[in-house]
Amino acid sequence: MRISVSIIGHNEAHNLPRCLASVKWADEVVYVDCASADGSAELAASLGARVFTRPNDANLNVNKQFGLEQCSGDWIFYLDPDEEVSAGLAEGLRGELEKSRYSAYVLPRRNYYFGRWLKRGGKYPDRQLRIFRRGKASFPCVDVHERLKVDGPVGALRWHIDHHPYNTAAELLRKLDFYTGRGAGRCAEKGKPVSLTRAGRKFLVNYFVLRGFMDGPEGFVSASFDLFNECLTWLKHREGGGAGGR
């Protein structure tokens, strides 16, 4: 049984060493570089990945699906460059898959904001569908945040992946601009703006009801970021904005 890991990225040289070091146990690592200008493709190749280069499509799922199609393993594990596989998952995954009766698996994800694991505020366990039999799942190329579509039963793993989405303020602002641009584009397509009332309610629930305040300053930043994301999406939609580059 062979396990492939598929990753796509744009200007991810700062994240790739950590990510790729965590999947050295895989039989194959496929990295799809999306028009990077920071040497990501060369770095990934030097770290043992099979590298493909593609245009930087604003709908990330187009290149995610392309990456899956290049994998040859019996099982495929999709990762983002700002994620890493925990030691427990690396040690236990192969044994689990060898006896599996499932087509795919969800697993919990620990989100780290500026180095702190957010345990509350709706940020954990943040279950992700990432591991599946080759040919049993695909990314719909419709929405940037669309989940994998799976043919067959889905199991659950107890081991984690770790997510480091925001290490600096500059990184947070760059991703905010990208995702709000995509969100405004979706609002325009559907003819339906963001509900600021619902966004405000979500902030209150995450920060107070789900105790995001117990995660300290990072918990406040997380809840505020989610609220501002919705507000900025609403503004971009009102201005007639749409998707931007990563």
Give strand ranges (E) for the chain. 3-9, 28-34, 50-54, 75-79, 83-85, 104-107, 109-113, 116-117, 128-133, 137-138, 149-150, 154-156, 161-166
Ordered by start, the domain boundaries in the chain are 3-100+130-149, 168-238
What is the pLDDT at residue 59?
A: 85
What is the pLDDT at residue 146?
A: 66
Contact 11, 38 (CB under 8 A): yes
Q: What is the DSSP letter of 205?
A: I
Amino acid at 31: Y
From 3.90.209.20, 3.90.550.10, 2.40.160.40, 1.10.10.10, which CATH number describes the 3-100+130-149 domain?
3.90.550.10
Percent of the chain with pLDDT over 90: 88
What is the pLDDT at residue 245?
A: 47
pLDDT at 167 over 80: yes
- Nearest 10 degrees: Cα torsion 203, 246, 127, 20: -140
Nearest C-alpha neighbor of 181 from the set 225, 122, 241: 241
What is the pLDDT at residue 190?
A: 87
pLDDT at 106 over 70: yes
What is the pLDDT at residue 189?
A: 86
What is the pLDDT at residue 241?
A: 61
pLDDT tens across 212-246, in order? 999 999 999 999 999 999 999 999 999 986 554 45
